[in-house]
Chain A
Amino acid sequence: MRLSEKSKIVLPILLIAVFVFATFGLIYRFQNHEMARIVEAERLLDQISEGMFEINRTIQSGILTLDEKYAVQSAQRSLRIFDKLSALENLHSAEAAAIRRMYLAYYVKLVSINSIFLEKRLDEGRTRLADLDMSFSRISAEMKRMIDLRTVQYGKAVSSINVFMAVTSVIFTAMITLIAGLFMRSSRKRKEAERSLIASEKMAALGALSAGVAHEIKNPLTIILHGIERLEASPSDGFGRQDIMNGIKQAVLRADGIIKGLLSFTQGPASGREKLEVLAVLEEALRILGQQRELRHIRIERGCLPEAPEARGDGAQIRQAFLNILVNAVEAMPGGGILRIFCEKMNANSFSITFADTGAGIPDADIGKVLDPFYSLKRKTGNTGLGLSIARGIIEGHGGMLKIESAPGEGTRVTVQLSISV
Chain B
Amino acid sequence: MKICFALTILSLVIAGAASAADINPVSHGLEIAGSSTVQPLAELVGELYHKKYGAPVRIKGGGTMAGIESVLSGAADIGLVSRALKDSEKAGLDYATIGHDAVVIIVNSGNPVSEMRRDQLVALFSGTARNWKELGGRDETVLLISKLPGRSTLELFEEYTALRHPSRAGKSPGGPISKSAYEIGSNLESATLVGGLPGAVGYVSMGTALSLIQEGMPLKILSLDGIKGTRENVINGGYPVRRDLNLVFKKANRKVKRFIGIFLEPEGQRILMDHGFIPAKGGRAD
Contact of B217 among A71, A82, A112, A121 (CB under 8 A): A71
Which of A68, A71, A75 is the most central at the interface, judged by chain B CB atoms within 10 Å of its CB? A75
B243 at the interface (CB under 8 A from A): no
- Contacting pair B216 A79 (CB below 8 A): no
- Which residues of A46-92 are within 8 A (CB) of B? 68-69, 71-72, 74-79, 82
User: CA A72 – CA B196 in complex, angstroms?
Assistant: 9
Contacts of A71 in B (CB 8 A): 188, 191-192, 195, 212, 217
With both chains docked as a complex, state the minimum distance between the C-beta of B180 and any C-beta of chain A, in angstroms: 12
Contacts of B58 in A (CB 8 A): 120
- Contacting pair B195 A72 (CB below 8 A): yes
- Contacting pair A120 B196 (CB below 8 A): no
- Contacting pair A112 B184 (CB below 8 A): yes
User: CA A389 – CA B219 in complex, angstroms?
Assistant: 105
B265 at the interface (CB under 8 A from A): no
- Contacting pair B62 A119 (CB below 8 A): yes
Is the interface on chain A under 10, 10 to 19, 20 to 34, or 35 or more residues?
A: 20 to 34
A116 at the interface (CB under 8 A from B): yes
A111-B59 contact given A72-B216, A76-B216, CB 8 Å threshold: no
User: CA A121 – CA B70 in complex, angstroms?
Assistant: 14
B215 at the interface (CB under 8 A from A): yes
Whose C-beta in chain B lies nearest to the C-beta of A117? Answer: B61
Whose C-beta in chain A lies nearest to the C-beta of B212? Answer: A72
- Contacting pair A108 B212 (CB below 8 A): no
- Contacting pair A116 B192 (CB below 8 A): no
Whose C-beta in chain A lies nearest to the C-beta of B208? Answer: A68
- Contacting pair A116 B185 (CB below 8 A): yes
Contacts of B219 in A (CB 8 A): 75
B110 at the interface (CB under 8 A from A): yes
With both chains docked as a complex, state the minimum distance between the C-beta of B245 and any C-beta of chain A, in angstroms: 17
Instruction: Please encode chain B, from 45 to 86, with 1 for each CB lying within 8 Å of some chain A CB and 0 for all others.
Output: 000000000000011111000000000000000000000000
Instruction: Please encode chain A, from 104 to 133, with 1 for each CB lying within 8 Å of some chain B CB and 0 for all others.
Output: 100110011011101111000000000000
User: CA A79 – CA B108 in complex, angstroms?
Assistant: 9
A79-B218 contact given A72-B212, A119-B61, A121-B62, CB 8 Å threshold: yes
User: CA A267 – CA B157 in complex, angstroms?
Assistant: 123
- Which residues of B191-207 are within 8 A (CB) of A? 191-198
A104-B197 contact given A111-B184, A114-B189, A119-B36, CB 8 Å threshold: yes
With both chains docked as a complex, state the minimum distance between the C-beta of A125 and any C-beta of chain B, in angstroms: 11
- Which residues of B68-117 are within 8 A (CB) of A? 108, 110
- Contacting pair A107 B60 (CB below 8 A): no
Whose C-beta in chain A lies nearest to the C-beta of B217? Answer: A72
A-B contact count (CB 8 A): 85
- Contacting pair A75 B60 (CB below 8 A): no
Main secondary structure, interface of B, reads mixed
- Contacting pair A68 B188 (CB below 8 A): yes
A79-B192 contact given A72-B216, A119-B39, CB 8 Å threshold: no
User: CA A108 – CA B143 in complex, angstroms?
Assistant: 11
Which of B59, B108, B143, B189 is the most central at the interface, judged by chain A CB atoms within 10 Å of its CB? B189
Contact of A68 among B40, B182, B193, B196 (CB under 8 A): B40
B186 at the interface (CB under 8 A from A): yes
- Contacting pair B36 A78 (CB below 8 A): no
User: CA A116 – CA B215 in complex, angstroms?
Assistant: 21
- Contacting pair B215 A68 (CB below 8 A): yes
- Contacting pair A74 B185 (CB below 8 A): no
- Contacting pair B60 A115 (CB below 8 A): no
A120-B59 contact given A68-B212, A75-B217, CB 8 Å threshold: yes
Contacts of B197 in A (CB 8 A): 78, 82, 104, 107
User: CA A339 – CA B220 in complex, angstroms?
Assistant: 108
With both chains docked as a complex, state the minimum distance between the C-beta of B271 and any C-beta of chain A, in angstroms: 14
- Contacting pair B61 A76 (CB below 8 A): no
A115-B186 contact given A75-B217, A75-B218, A120-B59, CB 8 Å threshold: yes
Contacts of A79 in B (CB 8 A): 108, 110, 195-196, 198, 218
User: CA A77 – CA B218 in complex, angstroms?
Assistant: 10
User: CA A189 – CA B270 in complex, angstroms?
Assistant: 106
User: CA A69 – CA B193 in complex, angstroms?
Assistant: 14
Whose C-beta in chain A lies nearest to the C-beta of B219? Answer: A75
With both chains docked as a complex, state the minimum distance between the C-beta of B144 and any C-beta of chain A, in angstroms: 11
Contacts of B196 in A (CB 8 A): 74-79, 107, 111
User: CA A116 – CA B61 in complex, angstroms?
Assistant: 8
User: CA A118 – CA B187 in complex, angstroms?
Assistant: 11
- Contacting pair B59 A118 (CB below 8 A): no
Contacts of B198 in A (CB 8 A): 79, 82
Whose C-beta in chain B lies nearest to the C-beta of A119? Answer: B61
Contacts of A72 in B (CB 8 A): 195, 212, 215-217
With both chains docked as a complex, state the minimum distance between the C-beta of A72 and any C-beta of chain B, in angstroms: 5
Contacts of A111 in B (CB 8 A): 184, 189, 192-193, 196
Contacts of B61 in A (CB 8 A): 118-121
Whose C-beta in chain A lies nearest to the C-beta of B211? Answer: A68
User: CA A68 – CA B193 in complex, angstroms?
Assistant: 13
User: CA A69 – CA B216 in complex, angstroms?
Assistant: 9
A-B contact pairs, 21 of them (CB 8 A): A71-B212, A72-B212, A75-B194, A75-B218, A78-B195, A78-B196, A82-B198, A107-B193, A107-B196, A111-B189, A112-B185, A112-B189, A114-B192, A115-B36, A115-B184, A115-B185, A118-B186, A118-B188, A119-B36, A119-B39, A121-B60
- Point out residues on A near B: beta carbons under 8 Å: 68-69, 71-72, 74-79, 82, 104, 107-108, 111-112, 114-116, 118-121
Beyond A75-B194, A79-B196, 8 additional pairs, beta carbon < 8 A: A72-B216, A75-B196, A78-B197, A79-B198, A111-B184, A111-B193, A119-B186, A120-B60
Considering the complex of A and B, which 10 residue pairs feature the smallest CB-CB distances, nearest first?
A119-B61, A78-B196, A75-B195, A115-B189, A75-B196, A71-B192, A115-B186, A72-B217, A111-B192, A120-B60
